[in-house]
Amino acid sequence: MKKNLSLYYTRKDHFLMKTALLFVIIGFLFTACTKKTEEPAPSLANPFFAEYDTPFHVPPFESIKPEHFTPAFEKGMEEQKAEIDVIVGNSEEPTFENTIASLDRSGRLLYQVSRVFYGLSSANTNDAIKNIQKEMSPRLAAHNDEINLNKKLFERIKAVYEKRFDLNLTYEQMYLLDNLYKDYVRSGAELNAEDQAKLKEINQELSRLGVQFGQNVLAETNAFKLIIENEKDLDGLPEASIAEAAKAAEQAGMEGKWVFTTQKPSMIPFLQYAHNRDLREKLYTAYIKRGDNDNEYDNKKILSDIIRLRVEKANLLGYKTYADYILETRMAKTPENVYELLNRLWVPSLARAKKEVKELQAIINREGGGFKLAPADWWYYAEKLRKEKYELDDTELRPYFMLNNVRDGAFWVANQLYGLTFHELRDMPKPHSDAQVFEVKEVDGSHCGVFYMDFFPRGSKRAGAWCGTYRSQTRAYGEETHPVVTMVCNFSKPSGDKPALITLEEVETLFHEFGHGLDNLLADLSYRTTFRSPDFSELPSQIMEHWAVEPAVMKHYAKHYQTGEPIPDELIDKIVNSRLFNQGFIMVEYLAACLLDMKYHTLTEPQDIDILQFEKEFIEETGLIPEIISRYRSTYFSHIIGGYAAGYYGYTWSEVLDCDAFEAFKETSLFDQEYAQAFRKHVLAKNGLADYMAMYKNFRGREPRIEPILKKRGIM
């Protein structure tokens, strides 16, 4: 289970026309200017209007400026409109090729500029790109609706769909046709003109509100700084954390002070180790109050409007709730199935968390604290308890988790499983100077794809970790198009003369996002249009976390950054023995967010919501204990504004799959080639154009079992 937001889950909706939704979670494009003696004509100057003259045809990042995006979006929409007109105006009988395949190929420029915009703007923002987001999101939503609600286009799609069994289609073609037809119906193609007009208004307003929500969260995250002036207030903190805070202060023009932020690499060590309880409380409160400060960045009214409009949209399309609408195409299918899984885990997890509260309170009492455990205290006293129980200290582990070594460890696992090799490329166009770039090759040395990795936090980069593509694999245009993948994280930076040393949690995050990267790199699809589901697409990422903490794998990558000695067996044993530690907190914090998501999206009638009262009632209904706050409060719950609306449960649904899938390797061998090739062939290669359960059963030989996740979480 991961709490990191990922762009990877989003399906490449037909011809990338669900663009407006993703504007919620994108930030700004990194730009670099090249000196010119004279300004060329705009059409020639825009890098999107010519074939990329770069190695492997990656985007020419250094040449792309904010002013290039709007003209490219506009031209892309114009071109696609013309292509749709050709399809609709075709006098020949509708066929798979002249309708479905032609539609799949349409909007190539729009697809290209959209991918670059999404990938870049999430990692480095400024006012220019924010303004483009606000301007373009409703226009792209309108363009989307113009195609989705095109009556003549839908009639052609429907005509092909109705004779599908007579067309001798491949499995991939049948899956594409079936899901494309249903997607048009779900997008309102069968509504009357009045309801279609209303749907267009809703979609455009949702797009606008989503952009504002995301920008507000980023603004709130960047606005707060905990400034330490008294060195005494640093007591307990690791040296690396202090050094990074000093560096942050220096960059902010406050040399001689220390600055901590609500970015996780800065905040979590402070909550774990700082002795000053008041300052821990101040930092944590700033984190959980983002979007809830009754200022210009407040998200309460915005979220209320988003939820109301989503209910209106679902009702308009004939669904009881927005969750019913969303889950119809997901592996879970219904809200009832989601609740069945969440409730099965909630009750034992909550009971375990209550026991953990008693253990932490006992430490407070023993130390003479004289106060009751509060949410901001959890990390501090959990770290103390972990040391007591397992003699395991995060600062003891970090020297063995040098970032580049961990990265190479992930590469090694991919090599052992699939024969892939990763070769760093120099003098390549990069989305940011921090990025690393690799050519990925198959076992026979042939080109597989290009892989970017961007590891460190910036004020202009949104929080979390994610993986997406600047270009996805396809054969839609008659030849093999190789993928260009990007993996973005917010890990601890190098400190002083030390390299980047990351936490065990960050190790698992790296392997997690790398799993998404492999899913993109090893795709083997004939069409650009795919249909992905978050509750299945987390399987390729989460299964990689299992290899991350396997002793044999850790021995390969976990080497002391000074001595080069591999991590000792004693420390590995401590890690293995402590895997169930703090699981009550981890599960309750996460499941609370899942249940909050579902509570919003199972509303049956449009209404104005008092967000704070809604949260209060949610806490009372679920029995969430006061010592734990939902991993995401409503006002900064960016997942449910983006592609995880009624879908945040997907990490746990996928965890059922990944735990069961990894059992196959544990039952045979860690890098069993039969299972590895089956996983590549049936899951990674066809994800998005095959039935989810069929993919899993083709790999495993049966449906998944829930027992492995219960065992992993220690609740069986």
Active site residues: 513
Residues 6+ apart with CB under 8 A from 58: 52, 428, 429, 437, 450, 470, 471, 484
Q: Which among 91, 310, 287, 340 has a CA at the least distance from the CA of 205?
A: 310
Helix axis angle for 127-148 and 108-121, nearest 10°, is 140
Q: Kindly state the tokens that stand for 297.
A: 């960045």
* DSSP per-residue codes, 185-196: HHTTTTS-HHHH
What is the 3-state secondary structure of 462-514? CCCCEEEEEECCECCCCCCECCEEEEECCCCCCECCECCECCHHHHHHHHHHH
Rounded CA gap, 648 and 302, in Å?
Answer: 20
Residue 625 DSSP code? -
The count of other CB atoms within 10 Å of the CB of residue 669 is: 11
Q: How far apart are CA 536 and CA 689, in angstroms?
A: 12
3-state helix, strand, coil in the chain (%, to 5): 60, 5, 35
Q: CA–CA separation, 360 vs 364, rounded Å?
A: 7
DSSP sequence for 258-319: EEE-SSHHHHHHHHHH-S-HHHHHHHHHHHHTTT-SSSTT--HHHHHHHHHHHHHHHHHTT-
| Encoded tokens for 187 | 């997008």
Q: CB 104: neighbour CB atoms within 10 A?
A: 22
Angle at 500 between CA 495 and CA 503, to 5 degrees: 110
> Cα 57 vs. chain centroid, distance in angstroms?
25
**How many Å apart are CA 129 and CA 131, to the nearest integer?**
5
Beta strand 466-471 with 484-488: parallel, antiparallel or unpaired? antiparallel
Q: Which one-letter DSSP state was computed for residue 39?
A: P
- DSSP for 549-568 reads T-HHHHHHH-B-TTT-PBPP
CB 203 within 8 A of CB 20: yes
Q: What is the dihedral of CA 494, 499, 501, 506, to 10 degrees?
A: 70
Whether 354 contacts 336, CB under 8 Å: no
Give the separation between CA 222 and CA 237, rounded to whole angstroms. 22
| Helices 300-316, 611-622: crossing angle, 10 deg rounding | 80
Token pair belonging to 161: 């769909």
CA distance 460 to 68: 20
Integer Cα distance of 321 and 241 in angstroms: 46
Alpha carbons within 13 angstroms on the beta-carbon side of residue 548 total: 24
Burial class of residue 193 in the structure, from the number of CB atoms within 10 Å of its CB (0-12 exposed, 13-18 middle, 19+ buried) = exposed
Amino acid type, 531: F
Distance between CA atoms of residues 683 and 537, nearest Å: 9
Length of the chain: 716
Q: What are the beta bridge partners of residue 452?
A: 437, 486
Q: Residue 280, CB half-sphere, CA atoms under 13 Å: how many?
A: 23
Asked if 650 and 538 touch (Cβ cutoff 8 Å), the reply is: yes
